[in-house]
Each structure stands twice: as C-alpha cells, then as structure tokens.
C-alpha cells in the first residue's frame, strides 16, 4: 500500500458524505470508551477520520494517531505490534477496521497490553460474521472471509499489502479464545496466539 492509496481513501470520504454518516455511530461509540482527559492511542488511523472526529467532539483527549504508513495528519508511523511507546503510558487503545488486517494479531494484543495502564482499555470496531453478513463479505467484498482461517496467523507471510484483510479474523478470535487469555497479565506475558489456536473450532 502506498501513501497515494491512503490519500485516495481520504478523498473518497470527502466526496461521499454517506461514508462519514455511516461511520459516525461507530466513531461516537469508540470515543465514549475514553474518559475525560485520557491519553488515547489510535492504531490503524489511515486516512485520519476518527482522529478528526475526536478533535472536534472530544478536545479533552490527548490523541496519538498511529498507522504503519506515515501521513501528515497522523502523529506516529509505527507497526501496531512494535509500538515506540513506554510501558503503561496509554489510557485507551482504539481502532476501527484494523484487527482483521494485521499479520500478527497476538503480537498486537500483547503490545496493547504493554502500553496500557492497569486501568486502561482496548476497544475495536471490526467486521462480524452472521448468517446475513457472511455471504456479503464472502462474495461481494474485496477482502477475504475464510471461516476456517487461523486468526493468529491469518496470512501466509508478514510481507502483505496493508489493505489485505480477512473479515473472519475478529469473529474467529472472539469465538475461540479462552477467557483467561484476555487478562492483562496473560497478554503482557505472551499474547494470545500460540496457546489458543487449537481451541478454535
């Protein structure tokens, strides 16, 4: 993926007012996860629309927008699995349509646990598989939707295009990950991936 693709994504939002309208409830829901004055890390910020919404509606937040690719409207260019941030320095990690694009979801969860304060939280908005959405994602969407995907190693190589995704990844992770894996200490220690793949059915 190139910066030109991110710019084109940003341009489409500007010329298609239905897109901001569709995403507005998700943006509001994510922003409501942050208490007043929180230091927020947005991962996968891409074209920067969630950050702009935050600046307009939640100026109390200390917002750090990050993406793998540098962009002038985002503060940080970094891999979500290798964040250049201190331990316990973030109150909330937020993201929209990012998890199902990651080559190493387990490494991301472990890194989020590392940078979050003990009282912190993670909130993501992602695709979800239902009897209605599955054929749409499977047949009409440009991304993959493999219901048997290994969610912890969803792509054969880390050298993947940033826009490549698999809509089934979040559904597989949530359905098949034991509850104990989601504790802050478990994620900080080793992430969720290798120990839970066998539990996914």
Mean residue pLDDT across the chain? 89
d(C-alpha 23, C-alpha 21), whole Å: 6
- Domain residue spans of the chain: 3-128+178-188
pTM to 2 decimal places: 0.89
In this prediction, residue 186 carries a pLDDT of 64
Lowest mean pLDDT among 65-74, 119-128, 134-143, 158-167: 158-167
CATH number of 3-128+178-188: 3.40.50.150
Q: Output phi, psi for 150, to 5 deg.
A: -80, 110
Hey, which bits of 58-196 come out as E strands?
62-67, 76-77, 90-96, 116-125
In this prediction, residue 198 carries a pLDDT of 33
d(C-alpha 168, C-alpha 200), whole Å: 12
Please write the tens of the pLDDT for every residue from 7-64.
998 999 889 989 989 999 999 999 999 999 999 999 999 999 999 999 999 999 999 9
Q: Output phi, psi for 118, to 5 deg.
A: -55, -30
In this prediction, residue 187 carries a pLDDT of 60
d(C-alpha 138, C-alpha 134), whole Å: 6
Q: Taking a C-beta distance cutoff of 8 angstroms, is the pair 67, 46 a contact?
A: yes
């Amino acid at each position: 993926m190139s910066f030109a693709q991110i710019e084109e994504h940003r341009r489409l939002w500007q010329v298609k007012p239905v897109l901001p309208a569709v995403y507005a409830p998700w943006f509001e829901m994510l922003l409501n996860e942050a208490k007043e004055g929180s230091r927020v890390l947005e991962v996968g910020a891409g074209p920067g629309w969630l950050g702009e919404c935050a600046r307009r509606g939640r100026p109390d937040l200390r917002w750090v927008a990050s993406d793998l690719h540098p962009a002038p409207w985002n503060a940080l260019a970094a891999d979500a699995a290798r964040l250049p941030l201190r331990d316990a320095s973030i109150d909330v990690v937020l993201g929209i349509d990012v998890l199902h694009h990651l080559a190493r979801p387990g490494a991301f969860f472990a890194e989020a646990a590392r940078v979050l304060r003990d009282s912190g939280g993670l909130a993501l908005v992602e695709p979800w598989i239902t009897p209605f959405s599955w054929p749409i994602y499977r047949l009409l969407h440009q991304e993959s939707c493999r219901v048997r995907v290994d969610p912890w190693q969803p792509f054969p190589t880390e050298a993947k295009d940033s826009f490549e995704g698999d809509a089934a990844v979040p559904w597989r992770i949530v359905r098949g990950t034991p509850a104990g894996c989601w504790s802050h200490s478990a994620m900080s220690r080793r992430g969720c991936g290798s120990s839970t793949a066998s539990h996914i059915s």
